Structures are given as structure tokens and as C-alpha cells.
Structure 1
């Protein structure tokens, strides 16, 4: 089973590299990318999960309503992408539910940041997909974390997928920078090993982010925009040709719980 997810957020990455980007431009770039994503998913008739900040969702309500109407899952990416307080866990869930009349049960922290599982549970979430079970210098060291779903107190942890050997992360940067055949090969090994592939992307990858004023390193925008649209569509068609199924995260984890009860 392949679980595609997208962190729909303000495109604030240039600020990490001392680049310049107005807030309105952050939103416009992510909006354009989300439109491209929804088009690909609709054409290929597959469902995915969208982790949205409240800031992005309330300024792009038409697109969030569209993704819900097309059968995708809406989950929380907290309130802001670059500013977090523990109270945002509950507040973001309630606001997303209020804005879009849907049940929000999933969480992903911006930049896969650590968070108190007691607080996540108290905020009413069923699952948290904020762990990348690998080591990223300067970010986190989760090399010894399980690669499969596991309970942490009352919250079901759903790690992102990594390779079976050396735990190479199969996230967005790998998708951009690896030859696509290598990414497919590592994905197949991970699928064969765990039974699922949990991979995540961002809408701005499907838009033009090559502006020099953003001061982004080349590896962050390699194969983005039209190249990303083509690569992503190619990956989906490869997966379908190999009879892999797609699902929202919520549906997959509910089925996983049922299977593991027996």
C-alpha cells in the first residue's frame, strides 16, 4: 500500500537560508503547486492525505474543499509552519474541523519536529506521522525508531518510510535528487519489507521555486516545477503498473489496527 501525503503550508523555506519572500508569495507558490497535485491525483484516480496549516487552509478554502470533495483526507500541520506553541495542536484541529466540516484525526508537525505525545493525545488525535526513522544531521536522530506503526501512549505513530539498508529517507529530497529508477527500487524494497510506503511532499515542489532571491541550495529545487509534475506522474504510473494500491493515511491505519488485533 502506498500512502502519499502532502504538507500544504506557507512556502517559508527561503527564510531558512536568509532568502527573501513576501508572505503573499509564499501562499501563491503553494497554491499553484497544490493545484498541480490535485490534477495529477484526479487523473490517476488515487487518494492521498493533506496535512495543512490553518494559515494555508483558511486562505485557500476553495482548494481544501475541492480535495475533500475528491475523497482525500485533511489532517493538521498545526497553525503556522514556522511558529509553534503546544496549544496549536488542539486549536488547529478544531479550526480545520470548523472551517471544513470534517473530522481531523491526523497530525504532522512542521519539519518533523518532536512533540509531547501526551499533548497530542489530549488534543484528540488518533495518529501522528511526524517521525522520520533515520538520522538527519542538524534535524533529528531517529535511527533506532521502528519503521512500522507503533503505539506511543494513546497515539499511533506512523513513521515515514526509509530504505531497508542504511535507512536512507525516501522523502521529498530523495525523490528530487536520486535517479528515478533508484528511488523506485528503494521504494519496492521498503514496500516488500513493511507492506507500505509512507512518503511525503510539499506543494511548492510542484511550482517554480528557482528564484535567486530565495537563496535556496540547488538540491532543494532540483527537478521541481514541471520536472516534478512529470516525475511524480511517472512514479504513480509505475506503482499502478506494479499493482500497488493507494490509500489515505487514516483508512490505512484503521485497517492496520484491525489486522493486528487478530
Structure 2
């Protein structure tokens, strides 16, 4: 089973590199990317999960309603992308549910940041997909974390997928920078090992983010924009040709939980 997910958020990455980008432009870049994502998913008839900040959702209510109408899942990416307070866990879930009359079961923290399991549970989430089970200097130190879903107190943790050997993250940067044949090969091995592929992307990857004013390192925008659209479409078609199924994260984990209770 392949679980595609997208962190739909303000495109604030340039600020990490002393680039310039006002909020209106952050939202516009991500909006364009999300439109491209929804088109590709529709053309290929696959479902996905969208972890949205409240800021992005409030400013793009038409697109969020559109994705919900197509059977995709809406989950929380907290309130802001670059400013977090523990109270945002509950507040973001309630606001997304109020705005779009849907049930929000899942959470992904911005930048996959650590968060209190008790706080996530108290905020009413069923699952948290904020762990990359690998080691990246200065970012993650989760090399010994399980690669499969596991309960941590009252929260079902759903790690992002990594390779079977050396735990190479199969996240958005790998998708951009690896040859596509290699990414497919590593994905196939991970699918065979765990029974699922949990991979995540961002809407701004499907837009042109090569503007020098953003001051982004080349590895962050390699194969973005139109190249990303083509690679992503190719990947989905490859997966379907190999008879892999797609699901929203919430539906997959609900079924996983039922099977593992028996």
C-alpha cells in the first residue's frame, strides 16, 4: 500500500536561508503547487492525505474543499508552519474541523519536530506521522525507531518510510535528487519489507522555486516545478503498473489497527 501525503503550508523555506518572500507570496507559491498536485491525483485516480496548517487552509478554502470532495483526507500540520505552541495542537484540529465540516484524525508536525505524546493524545488525534526513523545530523536522531506503526501511549505513531538498508529517507529530497529508477527500486524494497510506503511532499515542490531571491541551495529545488510534475506522474503510473494500491493515511491506519487488535 502506498500512502502519499502532502504538507500543505506556507512556503517559508527561503527564510531559513536568509531569502526574501512575503506571506502573500508564500501562500501563492503553495497554492499553485497544490493545484498541480490535485490535477495529477485526479488524472491517476489515487487518494492521498493532506496535512494542512490553519494559515494555509484559511487562505485556500476552495482548494481544501475541492480535495475533500475528491475523497482525500485532511489532517493537521498545526496552526503556523514556523511558529508552534502546544495549544496549537487542539486549536488547529478544531479549526480545521469547523471550517470544513470534517473529522481530523491525524497530525504531522512542521519539519517533523518532536512533540509530547500526551499533548497529541489530549488534543484528540488518533495518529501522528511526525517521525523520520533515520539519522540526519542536526535534524533527526531516530535510527533505532521502528519502521512500522507502533503505539506510544495513546497515540499511533506512523513513521515515514526509509530504505531497508542504511535507513536512507525516502522523503521529498530523495525523490528530487535520486535517479528515479533508484528511488523506485528503494521504494519497492521498502514496500516488500513493511507492506507500505509512507512518503511525503510539499505543494511548493510542484511550483517554480528557482528564483535567486529565495537563496535556496540547489539540492532543494532540483527537479521541482514541471520536472516534479512529470516525475511524480511517472512514479504513480509505475506503481499502478506494478499493482500497488493507494490509500489515505487515516484509512490505512484504521485498518491496520483493526487487524492488529485481533
> What TM-score do you get using the length of structure 1 for normalisation?
1.00
Cα RMSD after superposing both structures:
0.4
Q: What is the distance in 1 between the residues matched to 2:154 and 2:259?
A: 18
Q: Give the CA deviation at 1:95.
A: 0.2
Counterpart of 2:105? 105
The 1-side partners of 2:33 and 2:257 are apart by 33
Pairwise CA distance, 1:240: 0.0
Q: How does 1:65-80 map to 2 (within 5 A)?
A: 65-80=65-80
Q: Give runs of aligned pairs for residues 212-231 of structure 1, distance below 5 A.
A: 212-231=212-231
Q: Where has structure 1 moved over 3 Å in runs of 4 or more?
A: none
In structure 1, the residue matched to 2:90 is 90
* Structure 1: distance between partners of 2:120 and 2:208: 34
Give the number of equivalent residue pairs: 262
- Cα distance in 1 for residues equivalent to 2:167 and 2:32: 32
Question: Separation in 2 of the partners of 1:46 and 1:214?
Answer: 32
What are the equivalent positions in structure 2 for 1:1-262 lying under 5 Å apart?
1-262=1-262
- Matches of 1:239 and 1:60, distance apart in 2: 30
CA distance in 2, matches of 1:260, 1:105: 19
Q: Structure 2 stretches of 5 or more lacking a match?
A: none
1 CA distance for matches of 2:244 and 2:259? 19
User: What is the CA deviation profile of residues 59-117 of structure 1, one whole-angstrom value per residue up to 9, with x for unaligned ones?
Assistant: 00000000000000000000000000000000000000000000001000000000000
Describe the superposition over 1:194-227 as per-residue Cα deviations: whole angstroms up to 9, x where unpaired.
0000000000000000000000000000000000
TM-score (norm 2): 1.00
1:259 positional shift: 1.3
